[in-house]
Copies of this chain bind each other. A is one copy, B any other.
Amino acid sequence: MLIFHLKSPQSVNISFVGAGNVAWHLAQALEAAGHKILEVYSRRPLAAEALCERLYEANVKRDLDFSHTQAEILLLAVADDALEEVIDRLILPDYLIVAHTSGAKSIALFEQYPYNYGVFYPLQTFSKGKAVAIEQVPFCIEAPDEIVRERLIVLARTLSRHVQLISSAQRRVLHVAAVFACNFANHLFTLSKDILDGESLSFDLLKPLIRETIEKALSIEPKLAQTGPAVRKDTQVITQHLDYLRHDPDKQRIYQILTESILNFDT
C-alpha cells in the first residue's frame, strides 16, 4: 500500500525573520501543531542555524528577499528596535501574509503594504532554556483585512486556547499594565531581597509567602487580596517601617508612595 504524505488542509507554510527567544519557541510550537517552517532569517546567521537544527526541514535564509518564497505567512519575530528596519528592507510577493510578533509595536509599521499584514503577538515571556505551555499563552491578533485576520486567528488557534482580537491601542494599554504587574513587581522583589541582604537574611525565607500571596491575588482579585499595614491603616507600623528605611531614601520614597496609593485606592 502506498501512503501519500499530503499536506493537511490546516497545515500552513511559514517562514521566520528572527531566531531569538520568541522565534525559538513559536517555530517549534508551530511545527508541533502540524505546520511547516520553511526558512529562518536572522542578522546572526548562527542563531538561524541553531533554530533550523531544531526544525525538520527549515533552511537558513541569507537575505530579506522573500519574492520567491513558498511560505504563506512570514512572521517577524525580531527585537522591537530592529523591527522598523527589517520591514523597510523586506522584499515580499503579493500572496505572502506578513505579521510581527511584538507587544510594543503598532501595526502602523506596515502601512506601506497594501492589505496583507497583521500582528501575531504571544503575550508571554520566553527564555530559550525553559518550556512554555503554549496552549495557555494568550495570542493577540490584529489585521485590517478580514481574510488575513481570519488566517492569523485560525493559525493561532492551532497553538492556543486563548486567541483574541486586540487593536494596537489595546496592545499599548496591555503593555503599560504589564509594566506594573511584571516589571515593577519584579523590581519590588529586587528591593525586598536587597533589604534582606543588608541583614544577612536569605530571600528564600520569603519565597513561600510571595508564591502564596500571588496565587491569592490571581485566583480571587488583587484588590480583595490586599493585606499589610497600609490597607489596615496601621500608622504605627508604617511609621516604624519608614523610620527603618530612613537611610535609604529611594526605598523610603517608594514605601511612602505605594502606601499612599493603597490608602487612596481603598477609599
Contacts and interface: CB of A to CB of B under 8 A. Distances in A.
Interface in A6-31: none
Contacts of A240: 172
Nearest to A237: B104
Contacts of A179: 228-230, 241, 255
A211 interface: yes
Contacts of A239: none
Interface in A207-251: 207-214, 216-218, 221-223, 225-231, 234, 237, 240-241, 244-245, 250-251
Interface string A117-137: 000000111010010110011
A191 interface: yes
A187 B261 contact: yes
B213 A186 contact: yes
Contacts of A181: 188-189, 192-193, 206, 209-210
A56 interface: no
Interface in A160-193: 162, 164, 166, 170, 172-193
A11 B136 CA distance: 46
A46 interface: no
A120 to B, nearest CB: 15
> How many A residues touch the partner, as a band?
35 or more
A32 interface: no
A151 interface: no
A252 B258 CA distance: 12
Contact of A193 (B176, B205, B223, B257): B223
A214 B178 CA distance: 12
A216 B127 contact: yes
Interface stretch (A37-45, A66-74, A108-116, A195-203): A195-203
A50 interface: no
Interface string A67-110: 00000000000000100000000000000000000001000000
27 contacts: A81-B234, A124-B209, A124-B212, A125-B209, A130-B216, A138-B205, A174-B205, A175-B237, A176-B244, A177-B206, A178-B206, A180-B188, A180-B255, A181-B188, A182-B228, A185-B185, A186-B213, A186-B225, A186-B226, A186-B227, A188-B188, A190-B222, A190-B265, A193-B223, A210-B214, A210-B218, A254-B257
Given A124-B209, A173-B244, 10 more contacts: A125-B209, A138-B205, A182-B227, A185-B188, A186-B225, A188-B188, A189-B222, A193-B223, A211-B218, A214-B214
